[in-house]
Amino acid sequence: MAELRSLRCPCGFEVRSRDENEIVRMAQLHAKTIHGQDITVEQARALIQLVA
């Protein structure tokens, strides 16, 4: 089973999933809708951390 990962935005938004692609999608959607920013898959991936 994949490990649980999380991505946190400085605004307080957090997404947790075992599916890295889902986290990337959610992060891109959040950045676009809340911050009006387009982020790349690489940028989103760089923010993903394993949840201890």
Chain residues that interact with Zn ion, rule: CB under 5 A: 9, 11, 13, 34
CB 14 to Zn ion: min, Å: 9
Going from the C-alpha of 15 to that of each of 18, 22, the distances in angstroms are: 10, 9
CB 49 to Zn ion: min, Å: 16
Select 2 or 28, whichever has its Cβ closest to Zn ion. Answer: 28
Select 3 or 42, whichever has its Cβ closest to Zn ion. Answer: 42
27 touches 11 (CB < 8 A): no
Q: Give the whole-angstrom CA distance, residue 51 versus residue 37.
A: 26
